[in-house]
Structure 1
Amino acid sequence: MGSLVPLGGDLPVESRALAEALRGLFDGLGLSVRRYATRRHRDPGSVSRFLNGTRVPPWEFVNDLIGDVTEQHGQPPTQEAMDLLRRLYRAALAESGSAFSRVQLLEDQLADADRRSVESTAVVRALERALADAQHRAADLELQIRQLHGRQQGRIAEKDKALRLYEDQVTALLRERQSLLREVEALGEQLLDAHNRRAQAERRCEELERQLVVAEELWAEESGPGERDADHANGEAGAPGLSARGAGPSGSDDVRTGGGPDPRYALDTFEAGEANRFALSAAVAVAEAPARLYNPLFVYGTSAIGKTHLLHAIGQRTRALHPDKRVRYVGAEDFGNEFARAGGERGLDRFRRRYRDVDVLLIDDIQFLADHERLREEFLHTFDALHGAQKQIVLSSDRPPKQLTHLGDRLRNRLESGLITHVQPPDRPARVALLRRQVERDRLTASPEVLEYIASQVQRNVRELEGALIRVTAFASLNRQQADVELAETVLKDLVPDRVPTRQEDVARLIIAETAEYFGVTSDDVCGKERGRAIVTARQIAMYLCRELTDLSTPRIAAVFGGRERETVEHADRKIRNLVAERRSIYNQMTELTLRVKAAGGLGSGS
């Protein structure tokens, strides 16, 4: 008792298969039959018969054995192994023919019957619920049908009413149409009459225009030089005269609008010095003998060194020496704007007469001539017409013709066909003379030593030179001090540091960043389109500092500030320059911002 024997061949197949499966599970426990029987409180002989296949064990024994194996190995048998074990167990029971087997079978059948009964009950209940839902939906549909029927009857009534209303409106419209047809017939007769009168008026206008042209030509031949000068100074139909754009009194390129020549812009007041003596000589030669020596005369140089002054001076000297000469000054941008406003053929004819019926044409800042094919062609034809008629042409630019690539090869070749002269920053004696003239003109108080010191410190351009003098005298006036060299050293140390023209756009961006931080805004705000008061103030001050602390030209500064117009930069410079001279707070802000830029590395000796 209590031992395992080999499974004999005389055992039923089902019993032997079940016994093999149970023995396999039992072997995994590593126990003897007696020890396992003791653990489970069973008879060792019964356990042996279960494992030897001579008796079919109860399912309780099988469950206990499976639980022990699971506890021993830490994981239960797979679902496939359990299903196989159940099938073997049922087959062994069925083969044994014992009453227990029959009872087990009946229990299984009863369990299956119970399951089918439960399922049938669930199906019946689901069908009952579905039937109830169907009845509810049927009731809802009947209600909706009644409602739809009612609405349909209402719509039919509304349509009948609307149809009657439309019929009445159509009848009224037909009557109105008949009335309008009669009015149209009457208006057609009036229109035909008006068309005939318009044609007569156009023919009369053309005749009057021809008479006007003839009258202008007769007036030009019969009127005196003084009347012709006044006409060209005031311009035709509001066109700019000689001084439509001017420079500052000491030769800067600031633009000024005026009616006639400004006596401050004369060749005698142009401080040439040794560096610009050739440019001044060429200007004098052109003014004394237009179109005989240098035609065209092309003057170029950096911003604020006197190019515009020189062009105005040529025009004034020409008028003084040749009263019969017709002189016209215009900026390249104004030339382009007038061409854009000319419109149709009549406007173009007046535009062409305005610029081709002159003896001396002075065009300033030719680099701003728009990159527009029709405008370039018009300017090219104007150039050829004047040059072919032996008329003087004088042009200015911030760079030589070879670098004006946007004007095209044909126009650049014509610009290079005459005399090209370079206007350079004034030398020290010229700078001192310019400062002395500014002191006399503006009635400022500054000793010769102060003028010498400013001229030695500021060397780039005339605008910066004038600004330095204004700052020194303004500081002295605001603080009620004497404008001496010591005070000039203090002011110019902060606001006019030494610099070379490299890395200038980076310095401009640094100025923008420092100004934005000072006013509590962002650099994007300063360069953007916002119009808040604090942003506009920061933007104008940053533009002023860029003009004062860098060598960037006005257009390049405008480009750094989001592609603005050059006039915006010039307006900001004029406004802040005046405020610096009038308000101590603005002066202090400029000083502090300049020190911040220097501290940030934007204006060191290597910048």
Structure 2
Amino acid sequence: MVERNALWSAIADRFRNKLERPSYDNFIQPARLAQFDASKHTAVIEVPNELSRDRWLKTYAKEFTTFAFETNQMLLANIEVRVVEPVVDLIEEIEKNDNPDLQRQAVLKHGNNLDPKYIFDTFVVGATNQLAYGAALAVSEGSLEYNPLLLYGGVGLGKTHLMQATGNNALLNDPNQKVLYVTSEQFTNDFISAVRNGTTEKLREEYRNADLLLVDDVQFLSGKESTQQEFFHTFNDILGHSGRIVMTSDRLPKDIPDLEDRLVSRFQWGLSVDINKPDFETRIAILLEMSEKENIEVDRNVIEFIAKQVDSNVRELEGVFKRVAVISKFDSGVKATIDDATKILAELDIAQKSEVTIGFIQETVAKFFNISVADLKGKKRNKEIVIPRQIAMYLSRELTDNSLPNIGREFGGKDHTTVMHATEKISNNLEKNSPLQKNIAILKKQISGE
């Protein structure tokens, strides 16, 4: 009978001879053959993270069965790949935590600083992030069409998840490329340290040779003139050798104060995509994904209640869900209720929202402009009706989670393009029309009950 360690050693040697060194070091060396049963033709491979698991399922599991047969005449028909967190050498970890230089060396040695938990498969795609997701996926697969790619939006909307997924997927497709993820603060600290220690050339070699550079929170480059100059040349060098750059920010480059014009110009070369707050359907999908991932059953009505009440960002949504999930997880046989969720919202100081409907918006707008709801839903084209109708459509888009087609149906079966045109027209006019701004503000207060 073949001994497990001997079988793994023989197969690992075959991988070592076939693969490039980075592929072997990243995906084969950290793996282990945890179990195998020759009589049942099964084997279990343990790997340290989801990225490795995906790579094994996509490529290496099939090769593993081939090598098992070639080296030991072993037929393995069913290969299971499990993620098992690696056991950390405690002494080594303590020394590393006590020594910032060792921490940075570890990052440079591995060359990416990516968190393997951030992958595209766990990113919930919805109407408010679909374009950003598609562009990031294209960049991860080598596209230069959106170069550089800037993802911008508020806190907790998934920008970092999407950026790191870009890096992880790029390595999954080609482990030999150099991918580096940093925050703008890390880049600044590295630059300052390099200037002090006279190691700027080493720093430039590290950053400028990247095939894919991922920079989080570029708004924090604001006011840092020397760092901006270094980043400008890094940016040019990477794009000069057909490398790719992905950045995140909380705003557009032109809105970042004290950012050099030449950097603003460079950042706008490619594609800037905003990631907005997830809509109602996406929030439900996020909660269902969390429920499945944590293997915790939460009633659908509770999930929908949370999705209606928490619409600020994904991070807050996850925070509420985790508190609700604790009830089901640790109180055996008991499921969380809407009352439980309501208490948790109060504890977290999240105000409970009454649901705003399109019908209520129509009634409020009609009363405000002294017309009928039937006029709003009808086909009259006179100015006294068209403008209130457009305002009502705009407010329905702003204050509810209804899709464009749904809003159109509530306005007498209008096409979704009509709703889109109306919302865009009101949105554009708001910037330059003070009376319109005032009317919209009054209507919002009336609708929300403030």
TM-score band by shorter chain is 0.5 to 0.7
Shift, 1:269, TM fit = 1.4
Deviates more, 1:321-330 or 1:337-346: 337-346
Q: 1: distance between equivalents of 2:185 and 2:220?
A: 6
Please, which runs of 5 or more residues in structure 2 have no aligned partner?
1-18, 28-50, 52-101, 354-447
Shift, 1:486, TM fit = 3.2
The reply to whether residue 238 of structure 1 matches residue 106 of structure 2 is yes
For normalisation by structure 1, the TM-score amounts to 0.40
Shift, 1:498, TM fit = 5.0
Alignment match of 1:387 (pick from 224, 230, 239): 239
Shift, 1:476, TM fit = 6.7
Change (3 A) 1:486 1:331: same
Q: Higher Cα Rg: structure 1 or 2?
A: 1
1:487 corresponds to: 340
Secondary structure of the residue that 1:374 maps to in structure 2?
helix
2:137 corresponds to: 284
Q: 2: distance between equivalents of 1:383 and 1:229?
A: 27
Q: 2: distance between equivalents of 1:300 and 1:352?
A: 26
Shift, 1:372, TM fit = 2.1
1:374-432 per-residue CA deviation (whole Å, 9 max, x = no partner) reads: 11110111011111111101000011111112222111111011111111122222212
Q: 2: distance between equivalents of 1:436 and 1:243?
A: 31
Shift, 1:475, TM fit = 5.8
1:216-263 per-residue CA deviation (whole Å, 9 max, x = no partner) reads: xxxxxx963326869xx999723365764xxxxxxxxxxxxxxx541x
Alignment match of 2:351 (pick from 479, 497, 520): 497
The reply to whether residue 408 of structure 1 matches residue 205 of structure 2 is no
Alpha carbons 2:150, 2:267 under 8 Å: kept:
yes
1:275 corresponds to: 128
Change (3 A) 1:226 1:476: closer
Alignment match of 1:430 (pick from 282, 285, 288): 282
For normalisation by structure 2, the TM-score amounts to 0.53
Q: 2: distance between equivalents of 1:242 and 1:356?
A: 12
Shift, 1:346, TM fit = 4.4
Superposition pairs of residues 349-388 of structure 1, within 5 angstroms: 349-369=201-221, 371-388=223-240
Alignment match of 1:226 (pick from 18, 23, 37): 23
Alpha carbons 1:300, 1:307 under 8 Å: kept:
yes
1:348 corresponds to: 200
Q: 2: distance between equivalents of 1:325 and 1:265?
A: 19
1:503 corresponds to: none
2:175 corresponds to: 323
1:523-564 per-residue CA deviation (whole Å, 9 max, x = no partner) reads: xxxxxxxxxxxxxxxxxxxxxxxxxxxxxxxxxxxxxxxxxx
1:316-351 per-residue CA deviation (whole Å, 9 max, x = no partner) reads: 111112233211111111111111111357411111
Secondary structure of the residue that 1:330 maps to in structure 2?
strand
Higher strand share: 2
1:187-214 per-residue CA deviation (whole Å, 9 max, x = no partner) reads: xxxxxxxxxxxxxxxxxxxxxxxxxxxx
Superposition pairs of residues 258-273 of structure 1, within 5 angstroms: 261-262=115-116, 264-273=117-126
The reply to whether residue 469 of structure 1 matches residue 336 of structure 2 is no
Alignment match of 1:418 (pick from 258, 267, 270): 270
2:63 corresponds to: none
Letter paired with 1:423: I
Q: 1: distance between equivalents of 2:26 and 2:209?
A: 14
Change (3 A) 1:385 1:227: farther
Secondary structure of the residue that 1:450 maps to in structure 2?
helix
Change (3 A) 1:479 1:345: closer
Alignment match of 2:151 (pick from 299, 314, 319): 299
Higher helix share: 1
Alpha carbons 1:272, 1:430 under 8 Å: kept:
yes
Q: 1: distance between equivalents of 2:112 and 2:298?
A: 31
Letter paired with 1:299: L
Q: 2: distance between equivalents of 1:227 and 1:312?
A: 22
Change (3 A) 1:399 1:439: same
Superposition pairs of residues 558-577 of structure 1, within 5 angstroms: none
Superposition pairs of residues 69-468 of structure 1, within 5 angstroms: 224-226=21-23, 237-239=105-107, 244=113, 261-262=115-116, 264-290=117-143, 292-344=144-196, 346-369=198-221, 371-468=223-320
Shift, 1:456, TM fit = 1.4
Give the count of matched residue pairs: 264
Alpha carbons 2:298, 2:328 under 8 Å: kept:
no
Change (3 A) 1:223 1:474: closer
1:470-498 per-residue CA deviation (whole Å, 9 max, x = no partner) reads: 23334677888630223323433563215
Secondary structure of the residue that 1:289 maps to in structure 2?
coil
Shift, 1:439, TM fit = 2.3
Q: 2: distance between equivalents of 1:454 and 1:463?
A: 13
Change (3 A) 1:243 1:426: farther
Q: 1: distance between equivalents of 2:128 and 2:284?
A: 14
Q: CA RMSD in A?
A: 3.2
Alpha carbons 2:284, 2:307 under 8 Å: kept:
yes
Q: Which has the higher contact order (CA 8 A, sep 6+)?
A: 2
Q: 2: distance between equivalents of 1:341 and 1:606?
A: 54
